[in-house]
């Protein structure tokens, strides 16, 4: 099915799948400004934040950021936390694995010192702060978030040993304003709050994804407009509908996807109301 779909439309990859190549990821026009600010955080350390409602592309934004940071060179050490809901012991165990240190969960203070020494060595060698990227950060416990704040700060909070980018939905924003996490929330140096995308940006996304996949004329302009109007400004919804249309078009051996296909799949049939004579 996959090979038939790619061959039928001459696609390099499926443009609306979740696993598209990182080089083909669409980035809003203002993303470069945020990426540049995060690069400054990498120089000095501290916290950055990507937030927004579900389905707006936060995780893809974090993936694009990771790709950009790794392109700076081997001097930048980038770790990606895969299990944000860790307990404190598992949190230290995963950090040790990410930064190449064998830690004992029974000796948390030893792990605390070993990690900070590892980061200081890296900073002295490269002048860049190591980077820790955390997706789905709204799942992290308050204890782990506060431990991360203390662990990454030295010299009476005047020196940052780590650059941390938290990425999560708006529940994370709400938690950072609570009394328990306010010390962390006040330390966020740069923020990127993603909003629902407008009509122009969604059209730009569609055109860019089709262009990157090698099939810019796969959809008619009318179909693109229809998809945008029914996505509610949400990229995940837009990609879900577009992906189903693409699969259905391949099953029907259609050379181009148009609004007729959308209406056949999602259009509501018109029913005549019966009239009652009095």
pTM, entire model: 0.88
The pLDDT, as a whole number, for residue 2 is 58
Q: Is 208 exposed, middle or buried (0-12, 13-18, 19+ CB in 10 A)?
A: middle
Contact 243, 14 (CB under 8 A): yes
In the numeric block, which tokens belong to residue 248?
């259905």
Nearest to 204 by CA among 52, 11, 17, 29: 29
Query: 153-160 long-range CB contacts below 8 Å, 24 or more apart?
Result: 154/116, 159/45, 160/44, 160/45, 160/46, 160/129
In the numeric block, which tokens belong to residue 89?
């012991």
* Euclidean distance between CA atoms 2 and 201, whole angstroms: 28
* Euclidean distance between CA atoms 33 and 20, whole angstroms: 23
The pLDDT, as a whole number, for residue 102 is 84
Longest distance between any two alpha carbons in the chain, whole Å: 90
Confidence at 153, pLDDT banded by 50, 70, 90: very high
Contact 259, 222 (CB under 8 A): yes
DSSP summary character for residue 273: P
User: What would the CATH number be for the domain defined by 29-194?
Assistant: 3.40.50.300
* Euclidean distance between CA atoms 50 and 168, whole angstroms: 7
Confidence at 27, pLDDT banded by 50, 70, 90: confident
Alpha helices in 162-214 (DSSP H): 170-175, 182-185, 199-213
The pLDDT, as a whole number, for residue 268 is 53
Distances (CA, A) of 254 to 164, 174, 258: 47, 47, 9
Phi, psi (deg, nearest 5) at residue 189: -85, -35
Q: Indicate if the pLDDT at residue 137 is higher than 60.
A: yes
Alpha helices in 141-198 (DSSP H): 142-151, 170-175, 182-185
Concatenating the DSSP letter of every residue in 53-116 gives STTSSHHHHHHHHHHHHHHT-TTS-EEEES-TT--HHHHHHHHHHHTT----TT-HHHHHHHHH
Q: How far apart are the two ends of the chain, measured CA to CA in Å?
A: 57
Distances (CA, A) of 246 to 4, 56, 214, 222: 12, 21, 14, 15
Confidence at 75, pLDDT banded by 50, 70, 90: confident
pLDDT, one tens digit per residue, over 219-270 is 999 999 999 999 999 999 999 999 999 999 989 988 899 999 999 988 754 4
Q: Indicate if the pLDDT at residue 127 is higher than 60.
A: yes
Q: Indicate if the pLDDT at residue 70 is higher than 90.
A: no
Confidence at 160, pLDDT banded by 50, 70, 90: very high
pLDDT, one tens digit per residue, over 32-48 is 899 999 988 888 999 99
Q: Where are the domains of the chain?
A: 2-17+197-265, 29-194
């Amino acid at each position: 099915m996959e090979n038939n779909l790619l061959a039928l439309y001459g696609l390099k990859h499926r443009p609306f799948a979740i696993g598209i190549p990182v080089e083909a990821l669409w980035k809003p026009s203002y993303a470069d400004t945020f990426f540049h600010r995060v690069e400054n955080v990498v120089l000095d350390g501290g916290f950055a934040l990507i937030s927004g409602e579900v389905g707006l592309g936060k995780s893809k934004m974090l993936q694009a950021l990771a790709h950009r940071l790794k392109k700076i060179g081997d001097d930048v050490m980038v770790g990606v936390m895969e299990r944000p809901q860790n307990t404190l012991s598992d949190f230290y165990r995963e950090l040790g694995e990410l930064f190449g240190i064998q830690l004992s969960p029974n000796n948390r203070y030893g792990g605390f010192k070993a990690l900070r020494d590892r980061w200081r060595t890296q900073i002295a060698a490269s002048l860049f702060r190591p980077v820790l990227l955390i997706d789905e950060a709204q799942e992290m416990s308050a204890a782990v978030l506060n431990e991360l704040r203390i662990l990454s700060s030295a010299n009476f909070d005047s020196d940052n040993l780590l650059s941390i980018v938290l990425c999560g939905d708006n529940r994370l924003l709400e938690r950072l304003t609570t009394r328990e996490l306010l010390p962390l929330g006040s330390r966020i140096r740069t923020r990127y709050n993603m909003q629902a995308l407008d009509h122009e940006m969604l059209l730009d996304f569609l055109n860019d994804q089709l262009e990157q996949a090698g099939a810019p004329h796969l959809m008619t302009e009318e179909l693109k407009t229809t998809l945008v109007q029914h996505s509610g400004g949400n990229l995940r919804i837009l990609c879900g509908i577009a992906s189903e249309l693409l699969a259905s078009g391949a099953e029907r051996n259609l050379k181009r996807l148009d609004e007729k296909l959308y209406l056949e799949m999602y259009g509501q049939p018109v029913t005549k109301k019966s009239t009652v004579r009095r």
